[in-house]
């Protein structure tokens, strides 16, 4: 079975254009609206904290420390909330795509509750990926950085060269790992594969086709990025003008950016899901042959 990039690309865009209203309406409710509420509250709170710094200036360092700690705590809470919203949106896009492929259009409330059931697994998956990325970054980047800081060779040049080489090696390793595990996320949600087993499952699908998987995803990413550039360039002037307006400008800029994102973001997952099913079909005949033997 031959997997054609142009065929997958055509199916992705046709499917998206056919269901664009459903995707837009769903993500408007599950992503743009909650994001708008959280960002608006955050902007208003930090504006108030900014005024607070001026008001308690006469109280000395104690007042400033209290407000700094308060601001940091509030920021952490809002950041975690925004991450949760993004994760729910991602799961929702995948589940919505599967439902639409099966000829069903779920209610937004049903889709939301369905997405919540996978939230724990997706958080676990995200933590593992972040831990691996952070761990590798420490191993490869810290030594070169220390050489630059302490000039271990009497000059920063060797340290800089080692740091550049380390970053290059880190990029290659992360690219290899992420390509092998590119279908892990989907296998958890679509086929209910346990988080730990999903890495092996994805690697099994990619095995023997690593260059194809990497190349197709890279090419599609470039196409989508190019499309976003074409859309965003005219809007950049509007965003710059809006950013000049205090408070309201920041809120309007966030909403506009979110609206642009939900128009393009589903494409990546539709393509990846199409790719995922194609890779499963590619592997299944081989397994049947092995069983017969």
pLDDT reported for residue 177: 94
Whole-number Å distance between alpha carbons of 68 and 57: 13
185-199 pLDDT per residue, tens? 999 999 999 999 999
130: which 2 tokens? 């972040």
Please give the average per-residue pLDDT across 77-101, as a whole number: 92
Q: Which residue has the higher pLDDT, 256 or 175?
A: 175
Mean pLDDT is lowest, of 17-21, 43-47, 99-103, 279-283, for 43-47
234-293 pLDDT per residue, tens? 777 776 676 666 667 677 777 877 888 888 889 999 999 999 999 998 876 455 334 444
Find the angle CA(202)-CA(208)-CA(212) to the nearest 5 degrees: 85
What are the residue ranges spanned by the domains of the chain?
5-285
pLDDT reported for residue 50: 63
Q: Which residue has the higher pLDDT, 71 or 224?
A: 224
Please give the average per-residue pLDDT across 39-44, as a whole number: 82
SS3 assignment for the chain: CCCCHHHHHHHHHHHHHHCHHHHHHHHHHHHHHHHHHHHHHHHHHHHHHHHHHHHCHHHCHHHHHHHHHHHHHHHHHHHHHHHHHHHHHHHHHHHHHHHHHCCCCCCHHHHHHHHHCCHHHHHHHHHHHHHHHHHHHHHHHHHHHHHHHHCCCCCCHHHHHHHHHHHHHHHHHHHHHHHHCCCHHHHHHHCCCCHHHHHHHHHHHHCCCHHHHHHHHHHHHHHHHHHHHHHHHHHHHHHHHHHCCCCHHHHHHHHHHHHHHHHHHHHHHHHHHHHHHHHHHHHHHHHHHHHHC
pLDDT reported for residue 289: 36
pLDDT reported for residue 101: 93
Q: Which residue has the higher pLDDT, 32 or 147?
A: 32
pLDDT reported for residue 1: 59
pLDDT reported for residue 148: 62
40: which 2 tokens? 């608006």
pLDDT reported for residue 42: 82
Whether the predicted pLDDT of 41 surpasses 70: yes
Whether the predicted pLDDT of 138 surpasses 70: yes
Whether the predicted pLDDT of 204 surpasses 60: yes
Residues of the chain with pLDDT > 90: what percent? Answer: 49
| Average pLDDT across the chain, whole number | 83
Whether the predicted pLDDT of 31 surpasses 60: yes
- Considering the entire predicted model, what is its pTM? 0.82
């Amino acid at each position: 079975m031959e997997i054609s990039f142009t065929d997958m690309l055509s199916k992705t865009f046709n499917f998206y254009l056919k269901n664009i209203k459903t995707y837009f309406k769903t993500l408007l409710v599950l992503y743009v609206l909650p994001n708008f509420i959280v960002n608006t509250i955050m902007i208003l709170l930090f504006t108030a904290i900014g005024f607070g710094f001026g008001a308690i200036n006469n109280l000395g360092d104690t007042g400033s420390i209290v407000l700094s700690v308060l601001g940091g705590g509030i920021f952490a809470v809002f950041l975690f909330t925004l991450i949760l919203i993004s994760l729910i949106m991602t799961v929702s896009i995948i589940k919505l795509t599967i439902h639409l492929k099966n000829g069903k259009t779920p209610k937004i409330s049903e889709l939301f509750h369905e997405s919540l059931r996978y939230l724990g697994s997706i958080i676990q998956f995200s933590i593992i990926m972040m831990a691996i990325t952070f761990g590798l970054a420490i191993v490869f980047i810290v030594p070169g950085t220390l050489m630059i800081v302490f000039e271990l060779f009497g000059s920063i040049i060797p340290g800089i060269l080692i740091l550049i080489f380390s970053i290059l090696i880190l990029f290659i390793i992360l690219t290899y790992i992420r390509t092998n595990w590119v279908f892990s996320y989907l296998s958890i949600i679509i086929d209910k594969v346990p988080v730990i087993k999903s890495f092996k499952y994805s690697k099994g699908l990619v095995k023997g086709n690593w260059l194809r998987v990497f190349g197709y995803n890279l090419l599609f990413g470039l196409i989508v990025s190019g499309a976003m550039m074409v859309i965003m360039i005219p809007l950049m002037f509007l965003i710059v003008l809006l950013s000049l307006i205090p408070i309201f400008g920041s809120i309007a800029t966030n909403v506009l950016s979110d609206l642009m994102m939900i128009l393009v973001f589903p494409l990546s997952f539709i393509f990846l899901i199409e790719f995922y099913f194609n890779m499963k079909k590619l592997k299944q005949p081989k397994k049947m042959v092995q069983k017969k033997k």
